[in-house]
Amino acid sequence: MNPRTTLYLGGARSGKSRMAEEAARRTGLALRYIATAAPGDDEMAERIAHHRAKREGLGWETVEALYDLPEAIRAQSRTDTAVLVDCLTLWLTNIMLADRDIAVVREALLAEIEAAPGPVLLVSNEVGLGLVPETPLGRAFRDEQGRLNRKIAALVPNVVFVAAGLPLVMKGSI
């Protein structure tokens, strides 16, 4: 595994994506952005367009992987390329709503992260810090997101928690 592989955790609008993008640019490598968001409504489509526009002209090549994230990491990761995945939370949402086997796809994702020859920068929400979700699906999502974050944090050499735009290095270094 590449020693620069890092998991960026935090809440919504905490600055984790910005921090991961900056870290990817600092590598000096080619830049691949694996986007996992599905434009399910007008507001989300606008968010996606905004994110694309802010990366435009900065050297990013964007690849969409709503479901097949392990395969996208395998296809994009090279020693001369920094891969940024934004975000694991939306990817897990897609997987759960498509009723895919979470354990199987999670293990495939972990294997591809571990096998990646170049740095993989992963962005994920820490959703378990708030209220207990009201619905069974919400509680199942919270639990699965916690499991996914925990397994990736155990695997990768660096973990950064971002709150209010400030990094807290939890493991390794940035």
pLDDT at res. 122? 98
| Cross-strand partners of 171 | 159
Could you list the active site residues?
51
* Residues 119, 79 contacting (CB under 8 angstroms): no
Tell me the pTM.
0.94
* Residues 144, 27 contacting (CB under 8 angstroms): no
pLDDT at res. 25? 95
pLDDT at res. 90? 96
Give the max Cα distance, the chain: 45
pLDDT at res. 45? 80
pLDDT tens for the chain, 174 residues: list them: 899 999 999 998 899 999 999 999 999 999 999 999 888 888 888 887 887 877 777 789 999 999 999 999 999 999 999 999 999 999 999 999 999 999 999 999 999 999 999 999 999 999 988 888 899 999 999 999 999 999 999 999 999 999 999 999 999 988
Q: Among all chains, which residue has been given the structure tokens 């919270």?
A: 142
Q: Torsion-angle region of residue 87: left (phi > 0), alpha (psi -120 to 50) or beta?
A: beta
Has domain 6-171 been given CATH number 3.40.50.300? yes
* Residues 76, 118 contacting (CB under 8 angstroms): no
**pLDDT tens string 36-64:** 988 888 888 888 788 787 777 778 999 99
Percent of the chain topping pLDDT 70? 100
